Amino acid sequence: MTIGAVIHRLQRTKPRWNPTALAVVAARTRDPFRVLIACILSLRTQDTTTGPAAERLFALADTPEGMLRLTAARIERAIYPVGFYRTKARVIRAICRELLERFGGRVPDEIDELLTLKGVGRKTANLVVTMGYGKPGICVDTHVHRISNRLGYVKTPTPEKTEMALRAKLPRRYWIGYNDLLVSFGQNVCTPISPRCSLCPVRPLCRRVGVTTSR
């Protein structure tokens, strides 16, 4: 299997799929701060909830300064019902405070610096770098981990190990768009349970590792 052939087939099909909530946020403004906050909201939350919650919150504030003028309770009301909305409201305020105190209000464009922010893990840091700044990074969430292994491109037990394997193997020209492409594919076709293999544009190239039932 050639990963380039897989990616090119998926890219041709992607316009037919529903876009991810984070792709919508990034496409509107390319604002790293909005991407960062939307990433926080998206954790353990479906896109159908993340998108509207992000819109409600950004209608109130879309800068670190503006966000800190909101109380945690106000943020909670705006982002409900995202998962762990109370915790996320506190995390958002803490991140904004750190951005102002340590980075002059600017979202860092380096993964190592982003990881020093409370509540920011590798998934979020990589998404901010790629979607917010257009810099190479590999964000691995459950979709990317599952599909990369299902294709047979990597053989890894955890998302963290998948990221490292992809960094070593995936051609750098594909890094930026890899997450959004596979997340869209995973939400619309290559679902966790009973994937839609009959509709899959890359079925001839896929080893279907671990697939026992499909549609």
Determine whether 141 is an active site residue: yes
Most distant CA pair in the chain, distance: 54
Give the separation between CA 44 and CA 13, rounded to whole angstroms: 26
Give the separation between CA 123 and CA 140, rounded to whole angstroms: 6
**Active-site choice (31, 47, 88, 123):** 123
Give the separation between CA 195 and CA 188, rounded to whole angstroms: 9
Q: 71-90: string of b/e by CB count within 10 Å (b at 16+)?
A: eeeebbebbeebeebeebbe
Determine whether 123 is an active site residue: yes
**Active-site choice (141, 161, 169, 180):** 141
The CA radius of gyration of the chain, in Å to the nearest whole number, is 18
Give the separation between CA 210 and CA 37, rounded to whole angstroms: 34
Catalytic residues: 123, 141
